[in-house]
Amino acid sequence: QYCTSQTSTQANITEKYGNQAKALMKKLDSTYHTILKVYSKDTIFVHNFKLAQSAWFKFFEFQEKAMYPSYPSQSYGDLALL
């Protein structure tokens, strides 16, 4: 959903989507730990699952860097922090 209200400010929009991103990351972390707990006896799976999760986070980080390169003379504003 996009904020279309004329009274929405950039700060409101940033806060809203920042809060949504935090909630999603919290849910992802909870799901990750639940999976580790459920499969704790399957050490091969747990090992591979942790490797996959680590690779996913690296992909996420580098995808963001590709989309928003950190040029010294360019700024992407508040949304780059999300």
Q: Tens digits of per-residue pLDDT, 22-37?
A: 899 899 999 999 999 9
The answer to whether 25 touches 46, Cβ cutoff 8 Å, is: no
Task: Report how far residue 35's alpha carbon sits from residue 12's, in angstroms, rounded to the nearest whole number.
Answer: 35
Q: What is the mean pLDDT of residues 49-56?
A: 96
pLDDT of 73 reads 76
Q: What is the mean pLDDT of residues 56-74?
A: 86
Q: How many CB atoms lie within 10 A of CB 77?
A: 8
In terms of average pLDDT, the best of 6-10, 56-60, 65-69, 78-82 is 56-60
Q: Is the pLDDT of residue 78 over 70?
A: no
